[in-house]
Structure 1
Amino acid sequence: MNLILVVLCISLTLLLTNDVYATTIQLEEPRRIVAMGDLHGDLHNTKKILRLAGLINDKDHWSGGDTIYVQTGDVLDRGTDTIELYDLIQRLRSEAPEQGGLVIPLLGNHEIMNLAGDWRYVTKKEMATFGGHSKRVEAFQPDGFIGEYLVQLNMTTKVGGTVFCHGGINPEFAKKGVDQINDNVRQDLLRYMASGADPHGVFGGHGPTWYRGYALDDEPGICAVADKALAYMKADRMVMGHTVQRDGEIRTRCNGKIILVDIGISWVYGGFVGALEIIGDQVTAIYEHTRVPLPPRQEDRTHQEL
C-alpha cells in the first residue's frame, strides 16, 4: 500500500470514529475517568488492574459503564504479550461505547520507537509470538495489523480539566495545544517512521513522549514550568507515565497538578497493581487492598528509565 493511500485510509477512519480518536473531551458534569501507565508486555497484570478498577468482567469484556479509560502508552516492549494486549485494548475500545464509555489509548515512546524500527527492548520470546523478525516487521508497517492501529492514535488527550500524555508536555509544546500536537503527529509520523527514528520536533527528546522534567526536576522550579504549560492548555492537571515509581505508588507533585502513573505494572518492574481514578475534583489512587485520596503531595522518589 503506498504512502498516499495509507494517509487517506487513516483520515477516513478518523472521520468515521471521531469520538474514539477525539483529542479533547468536554465534560458537562463529573464523569469517572480511570488512567493506567506503562504496561510493558504484561497481559496478566493489566487484566488484574482492569478488573480491580471495574472496567472488565471475568470474561475480559467491558463492564465499566460510562467510564472513560485512558492508557498513557508503552503497551509493548520488555514483556512478551504485545499482540494480546493490543487486541484487548482494541476490543475494549469497540465495546465501551455500547455502555456509554470510552477507551483512549495514547502513544508512548516505545510505540514510536517500534514504529520506526528501534527494537532495543524487544525480547526474543516476544519476537517469536509474531512468528519471527520478518513477520514482526510486517506487523508494524503502516498497513500492518499493529502499525495500522498505532498510526491512528493520539499522543495526548484532554478530558475535562485533565491532560493525559506519556512523558509530559512542556510549555514549548503546550502553547500549541493538544489539538495541534496531535495534528503534528499525524502529519509527520509516517515520515518519522521512514527516517529510522530521527529525533525531531514532536518526536524529539523534549517532546510529549520523552520529556521527564515534571518527574525528575526539583520543586518548586518545575512547578512554575507546569503552571505555564497548564495555563496554555487551559487545564487543571497533567497525568503521565514514562518515569517508573519504583515503590509501586502513584505520585503527585506540584500540589497535585502533576500525577505520575507509571508504577511498574509489568512483571519486569515488580508487577505492581494500581490505577488512577478521577471524578471531578476527587482524585484517588486505586490499589489492590486500598484506595488513597490524592494529593497530598508525596515525596519524590522517581527513577529514570528508557
Structure 2
Amino acid sequence: MTSSDGGKLTHGDGTSTHPKRLAEIAAQSITAPVYRRRSFVRGCREGSATKMAAFSLNSLPVPPSKHQKAADCSHVNGVLKPIVVTGNPPTFVSAPGRRIVAVGDLHGDLAQTRCALELAGVLSPDGQDLWIGGETILVQLGDILDRGEDEIAILSLLRSLNIQAKSDGGAVFQVNGNHETMNVEGDFRYVDHGAFDECIDFLEYLNEHEGNWKDAFVGWINVCERWKENRRMSQNYWNPWNLMKRQKGIIARSTLLRPGGPLACELAQHAVVLKVDDWIFCHGGLLPHHVAYGIERMNKEVSHWMQGFSEDDDYSPEIPFIATRGYDSVVWNRLYSRDSADRKYQSWQISSIVEEALQAVGAKGMVVGHTPQFNGVNCRYNQRIWCIDVGMSSGVLNSRPEVLEIKDNKARVLRNQSYLFDELEVMDYL
C-alpha cells in the first residue's frame, strides 16, 4: 500500500519515492491497445485511479472558491474581457469566465461532428452551420483525419465557425492529433477511400477559385455534399481495384498534406498542446518531460515542420520527435487514457506523473482524446484527467456523441437529448 502526503509517496515498507523519479516511467514505450466493439454502459467509472462522485442533477453546489472569484473578475461592467491568445500557433489562451466545451476525435464523420457541435450548443440545428455559442470557447482535440470521408469538410466547418465565433466574443481552437501528423508525414494507411476522393474534388474546387485558399477552404463546407453527390452519380465512381483512380487520390492527398502543402499549412495553425485558463488540452497527454522541453517550443517545431521549414534547404524538414513520434510523445501517449487492465503501472505512479506535469505548467486539469472510452467520457486521477474520445465516428465505434463542458468550476458530460445531462462536481483546487 502507498499513501501520498504533500507530493511525497510513502510505501508500505516505510520507504518513499520522489515524484520526479516517476517521470522516467512515462518515457517508456506504451503499446497501443487493440480496439474491440463492446456494448455501451454509460455512467461513472470506478477505476483504480480514483472513485468519482456519483453523477446527479441534484448535486450540492460548490462553495465559492478562489477559482470562481477569479472568473468574476473577468467581467467589466457586465461584459467579459476580450480573449487573449499568446503564441503562434496559439498556445496560451486567457478567457476567464467563459464557458468551455471540448469535443474529442471526429475521424472524418461530418454527420456525427454536427451532432456533437449541436449537443455542445454552438452549432445551429437548422442545417445552416451557424455559430450560436456566443462567447463560448470550443476546443477540438484532434484526429479529424482518417477513418472517414469528410475530413476537409469538418476542417472547413470549424474554420467557418471560428470566424463567426470571433464576432460574438467566442473562439474555436483545435489541437493536432497523431492522425494529423501521420498524414503530413505521408502515412496514409488509415485513409478512407472517400477521403481520397474528397482530396481530388477539393483540388478541383480550389482551382476553380484560382488558388484562393481562404475562400475555397471556408466555402468547402457549403458545397461538399453537392460534390460528393456528383461524384457518386459518375460512372467513374470509386472502385478499390481502380489503381489509376487510387493513385490519383494519393497524389491529390500528398499535394495537400505534404510539409508545405496548403492543407498542411492549415493544420500548422493549430497547436499540439493548448492551455485555456487553468486547463490543458492535448490529444494524447502531457508528460513532465514535455513541459521541461517547453510547450511553446514543441508547438512551434511541429508548426514549422508542417509548413515545410528546414534549416538546410537541401534536406526535408525534420519531424519533431518529442511531440509527434514514439508512444510517449504528446500525440501518441496513452498513459492517462488506457483502461486499468491495460496499464503497466500502478495508479499512484500515474497520479504522481499527472500532478508533476500539471504543477509544472500551472494547470488544474487536463483533457485528452486519442483512446476511445467504451463507457463514455470519464475523469481519473483525482479528477485531474478527463478522457473524452468516445469513438463517435462511424469509422471507429459509431457511438453516440458526448461533449465535455467546463463552466463555473464544474464539468458536465453532455450526452444526446434523449438522456438527462449528467453533472459532476469538479474539485475546488487551491
- How many residue pairs were aligned? 278
**Structure 1 position 184, deviation (Å):** 3.0
Match 2:337 to one of 215, 218, 221: 215
Confirm whether residue 34 of structure 1 aligns to residue 101 of structure 2: yes
Deviation at 1:294, TM superposition (A): 2.9
Secondary structure (helix, strand or coil) at the match of 1:146 reads helix
- The 3 A distance-change label for structure 1 pair 64 and 20 is farther
Correspondence for 1:280: 408
Shift of 1:273: 1.2
Superposed CA deviations along residues 71-125 of structure 1, whole A, max 9, x for unmatched, are 0100010111112111101111111100000100111000000011001100222
Residue 251 of structure 1 and its aligned partner are, at CA, apart by 1.2
Distance in 1, Cα, partners of 2:268 & 2:392: 24
Find out whether 1:203 has 2:272 as its counterpart: no
Q: How does 1:63-102 map to 2 (within 5 A)?
A: 63-102=132-171
In 1, distance between residues paired with 2:139 and 2:424? 18
TM-score by length of 2: 0.61
CA contact (8 A) 2:88 2:300 kept: no
Q: Which moved more, 1:113-122 or 1:203-212?
A: 203-212
Aligned mate of 2:423, from 282, 293, 297: 293
**Equivalent of 2:365 in 205, 215, 237:** 237
Cα distance change on mapping 1:198 and 1:184 into 2, 3 Å: closer
Matching of residue 251 in structure 1 with residue 381 in structure 2: no
Offset of residue 254 of structure 1: 0.5
CA deviation after TM superposition for structure 1 residue 244, in Å: 0.7
TM-aligned CA deviation for residue 135 of structure 1: 1.4
RMSD: 2.4
CA contact (8 A) 1:162 1:238 kept: yes
| Residue of structure 2 equivalent to 1:158 | 275
Matched, 1:265 2:407: no
Distance 2:131 2:88 in 1: 15
CA contact (8 A) 1:157 1:164 kept: yes
1:54 aligns to what? Answer: 121
Matched residue SS, 1:245: coil
Cα 1:212–1:295 shift into 2, 3 Å: farther
- Select the residue among 15, 24, 30 that pairs with 2:92: 24
CA 65–21 in structure 1, closer or farther in 2 if over 3 Å, else same: farther
Q: 1:179 to 1:153 in 2, by over 3 A?
A: same
1:119 aligns with 2:188: yes
| Cα shift at 1:173 | 0.3
Contact between 2:89 and 2:303, CA under 8 Å: does it hold in 1?
no
Structure with greater Cα Rg: 2
TM-score, normalised to structure 1, is 0.84
User: Structure 1, unaligned stretches of length 5 or more?
Assistant: 1-16, 298-306
Distance in 2 between the 1:141 and 1:89 partners?
21
Q: Per-residue displacement from partner, 1:156-175 (whole Å, max 9, x unpaired)? A: 11011000000001111022
Structure 1 residues 237 and 207, CA gap change in structure 2 (3 angstroms): same
1:302 is matched with none
Per-residue deviation, 1:22: 2.5
The Cα of 1:200 is off from its aligned counterpart by 2.2
Partner SS for 1:172: helix
Please give the alpha-carbon distance, in whole angstroms, between the structure 2 residues aligned to 1:225 and 1:180. 21
One-letter amino acid of the counterpart of residue 204, structure 1: R
Note closer, same or farther for the CA distance 1:197–1:271 as it changes in structure 2 (3 Å cut): farther
Distance 1:198 1:260, change over 3 A: same
